[in-house]
Amino acid sequence: MSEATTPATEAVPEKRDFIRQIVREDLASGKHTAIKTRFPPEPNGYLHIGHAKAICLDFGIAAEFGGRCNLRFDDTNPAKEDPEFVRAIQDDVRWLGFEWASLRHASDYFEVYYLAAEKLIKDGKAYVCDLSPEEVRAYRGTLTEPGRESPYRNRSVEENLDLFRRMRAGEFPDGSRTLRARIDMASGNINMRDPALYRIKHVEHQNTGNAWPIYPMYDFAHSLGDAIEGITHSLCTLEFEDHRPLYDWCVDNVDLAGHPELLEPLKAKGLPIEAAKPRQIEFSRLNINYTVMSKRKLTQLVAEGLVDGWDDPRMYTLQGLRRRGYTPAALRLLVDRVGISKQNSVIDFSVLEGCLREDLDATAPRRMAVIDPLKLVLTNLAEDHEESLSFPNHPKDEAQGQRQVPFSRELWIEREDFAEVPPKGWKRLVPGGEARLRGAGIVRIDEVVKDEAGNVVELRGWLDPESRPGMEGANRKVKGTIHWVSARHAVAAEIRLYDRLFLVEKPDDESDGKTYRDHLNPDSKKIVRGWVEPAAAGAAPEQSFQFERTGYFVADRYDHRADAPVFNRSVTLRDTWAG
């Protein structure tokens, strides 16, 4: 398969951060002749925006240094895993612009993990423990007090092997026994106080069926998986820093490179064996205010119907952001702006939105759409008046060409572009006043039509025939310019106005007794019926536009059709949340 790559069209300047410096030094010293990384997601939920940083780092470093990056699913907890999540994760990685060198699963290595565990037992470095989970916690001690040794810690090698093999045979019920590493119950690092390596779970696995009633713990499987694949730099977020001593302990004490017989099961599967000693390096995760990124809380939002699924455009999953209209280029730009460091920080949501605006401003074609329509009738035009006006698709990019926009006697304009009693500084339509109709000339409002309740339902006006762009009459001073769509040609569209899902910067903060549910934004989704010009209606799903003067919108990935358009607001033209 192809090596991990970034899109070839992008000229990427050399990136400098502490991880890339380590990689450069390792290559220069000859420690490694080739770089190999991996992205190891758990298939127990959808990836969120925080994972975008890890993806860009894992795959990006491999690409920058001519290396390889594997996608490896950590499928060691089958009770919470689903093939749906596996498909979505692969979709996300490819959407961001990357391809894995090899697709792997922790379950590919279950036989190796089992043999490695037996080796540790034979070496006196692991034992079967009968303590219940509650007892294990009680024996573990605290940050200030050492733990106590399990009464089962000094079982003989023969007894441990017998019990472990019986665990493997499915003889014991869930939770009744664990295989634990024998390390140091007085260690200052609680992760080193005889951590569990295997637990009993009689759960069917999506890849191995009912072959295994025991499953390895994450730390054991992850470290050995990296060693099996010859990963040179195992990159993970800071919460794993305290796990690094255990990671190294597993790699060193199993010593796959020195015991190739443990890798024999891989030959039958035809998997390449590249056993080596990996180095774990930690970096700060991506934190953004006004969001929650806990997989548990994201799952609850979906399960409780507080959002419309994992790919709801208000969700900060990659599937949700994609449906919202975020682009891979915008997310890669965000990762570059945030940078790679060991310092935890919280990024303001406006930085994320700014990256999207910057990308779409340069790339998104312009279209006209009216979200809250008010009828404008140009009374000096014939009732059957119809013409086609030429508009640039992008005012800053001639290469995007021109489009034809139909124009007629009756138009839809935005209701907010007219005021009977204008506020101070008003620059749009008023009774008797003038404004420019984008690309069509100067209009004057002569009559305001209201319904019985006094609501404005129609404006009637006069279009100056000598004020088309380029004509002498267009040169007189008129303050405002408004957009429009031809009522006769406009296509009715469902327009979904999305906003931030949470009202406060720290929805996770429960110090005031409230939970993230209490901070949900009731206006995070509004659905309106608007009108779009025909060139917008014909968009392909996931095509983005700037609706002039309104914001950036995307044709919905699933619901949009040319005869029934559906557009999602990706981001407003300006930051509406700035204090």
Mean pLDDT for the chain overall: 94
In a domain, 404, yes or no: yes
Please write down the HEC assignment for all residues of 322-364.
HHHCCCHHHHHHHHHHHCCCCCCCCECHHHHHHHHHHHHHHHC
Q: Is 503 found in the same domain as 455?
A: no
Give 550-576 pLDDT, tens digit per residue: 999 999 999 999 999 999 999 999 998
Q: Which residues pair with 347 in a beta bridge?
A: 288
Which pLDDT band holds residue 12 (cuts at 50, 70, 90)?
low
Annotated binding site: 42-44, 48-54, 74, 218, 237, 285-286, 293-295
Q: Is 94 a catalytic residue?
A: no
Structure tokens at 145: 């007090």
In a domain, 496, yes or no: yes
- Closest by CA to 340, choosing from 23, 7, 9, 10, is 23
Q: Is 392 found in the same domain as 343?
A: no
Annotated binding site for L-glutamine: 74, 218
Q: Is 362 found in the same domain as 302?
A: yes
Q: Is 548 found in the same domain as 534?
A: yes
Largest CA distance in the chain: 101
Which pLDDT band holds residue 1 (cuts at 50, 70, 90)?
very low
| Full domain range(s) for residue 434 | 369-483
- Closest by CA to 105, choosing from 77, 73, 83, is 73
Q: Is 122 a catalytic residue?
A: no
Q: Residues 374, 458: contact at Cβ < 8 Å? A: yes
Q: Is 455 found in the same domain as 308?
A: no
- Which of the listed residues 458, 483, 508 is the one where a domain comes to its end? 483
Q: Is 476 found in the same domain as 403?
A: yes
Dist CA 524 CA 349 (whole Å) = 15
Give 41-95 pLDDT, tens digit per residue: 999 999 999 999 999 999 999 999 999 999 999 999 998 888 899 999 999 999 9
**CATH number of the CATH domain containing 361:** 2.40.240.10
Considering 3, 15, 42, 506, which one is annotated as catalytic? Answer: 42
Q: Is 267 a catalytic residue?
A: no
Q: Is 505 found in the same domain as 471?
A: no
Q: Is 525 found in the same domain as 381?
A: no
- Closest by CA to 456, choosing from 429, 496, 489, is 429
Q: Residues 37, 279: contact at Cβ < 8 Å? A: no
Give 52-64 pLDDT, tens digit per residue: 999 999 999 999 9
Q: Is 319 found in the same domain as 290?
A: yes
In this structure, the dihedral spanned by the alpha carbons of residues 58, 61, 66 and 70, taken in order and rounded to 10 degrees, is: 0
Q: Is 464 found in the same domain as 385?
A: yes
Looking at the chain, the whole-number percentage of residues with pLDDT higher than 90 is 90
Considering 140, 285, 438, 468, which one is annotated as catalytic? Answer: 285
In a domain, 242, yes or no: no
Is pLDDT above 80 for 312?
yes
Q: Which residues pair with 485 in a beta bridge?
A: 412
- Closest by CA to 179, choosing from 197, 155, 194, is 197
Q: Residues 254, 119: contact at Cβ < 8 Å? A: yes
- Which of the listed residues 453, 483, 513 is the one where a domain comes to its end? 483
Annotated binding site for ATP: 42-44, 48-54, 237, 285-286, 293-295
The total of structural domains in the chain comes to: 2
Q: Is 504 found in the same domain as 573?
A: yes
Q: Is 453 found in the same domain as 553?
A: no
Q: What pLDDT sits at residue 530?
A: 97
Which pLDDT band holds residue 372 (cuts at 50, 70, 90)?
very high
